[in-house]
């Protein structure tokens, strides 16, 4: 069972850079990362809506019968921040650095959530091995960026460093989203419906943002 879960986690990890690359191409066509993110979230929302209609049609009553809490909104917003940020990062620092910096932020935030027990996550004590792993991740980001910076002038190098820091910050969003969505799925007893709510909220937020920016 553990190997199966690890395999699913790896498959999910493989999907992230592919999704980012495809959405980056889409943003070139739409000439806006927010249009691209809206299309991406909207497609995911429609897909999850169809899945829930087939497998969980009775759960749509939850929207009218349950008490709406912050867990219904925060997960989708974190998804919007991460996806839109990736679309801004990839053309500036490349696919590999985008993935490495955001993954570094994800692992760092995951350790913080586990250590502090945030969002009702089970407490996991900080260990020396976790500290070593974080340092190795930081070293990897530095090493991957050394060759790139040697080919750029000082102004562009400082700009790249700025975007690398933004990537790490953006990487903090997915662990928060996952913890929030897990809490939501436990309260409504359906991970599929929790995913639908997260995507629906993200789509609505992106429609509002895109409408304001591209009137």
29-42 per-position pLDDT tens digit? 878 888 888 898 89
Distance of CA 65 to CAs 20, 61, 127, 180, 182, Å?
36, 6, 43, 20, 20
What pLDDT is attached to residue 79? 86
Q: Where are the domains of the chain?
A: 32-60+69-214
CA Rg value for the chain: 19
Cβ contact 94:151 at 8 Å: no
Q: Which of 53-67, 80-94, 137-151, 171-185 has the highest mean pLDDT?
A: 171-185
Location of structure tokens 């591209």: 214
pLDDT band, residue 156 (cuts 50/70/90): low
pTM of the model: 0.75
Q: What confidence tens digit (pLDDT) does each residue in 36-77 have? A: 888 988 999 999 999 999 888 877 776 666 667 788 888 888
Looking at every residue in the chain, the average pLDDT score rounds to 80
């Amino acid at each position: 069972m553990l190997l199966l879960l690890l395999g699913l986690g790896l498959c999910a990890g493989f999907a992230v850079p592919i999704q980012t690359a495809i959405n980056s191409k889409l943003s070139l066509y739409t000439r806006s990362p927010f249009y691209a993110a809206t299309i991406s979230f909207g497609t995911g929302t429609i897909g999850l809506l169809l899945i829930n209609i087939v497998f969980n049609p009775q759960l749509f009553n939850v929207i009218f019968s349950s008490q709406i809490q912050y867990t219904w909104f925060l997960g989708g917003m974190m998804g919007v921040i991460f996806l839109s940020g990736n679309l801004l990062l990839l053309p500036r620092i490349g696919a590999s650095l985008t993935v490495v910096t955001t993954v570094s932020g994800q692992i760092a935030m995951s350790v913080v959530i586990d250590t502090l027990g945030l969002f009702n996550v089970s407490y996991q004590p900080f260990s020396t091995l976790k500290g070593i792993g974080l340092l190795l991740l930081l070293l990897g980001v530095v090493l991957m960026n050394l060759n790139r910076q040697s080919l750029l002038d000082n102004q562009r190098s400082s700009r790249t460093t700025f975007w690398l820091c933004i990537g790490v910050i953006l990487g903090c969003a997915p662990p928060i989203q996952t913890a929030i969505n897990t809490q939501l799925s436990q309260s409504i007893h359906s991970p599929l419906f929790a995913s639908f709510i997260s995507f629906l909220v993200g789509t609505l937020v992106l429609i509002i943002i895109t409408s304001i920016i591209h009137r």
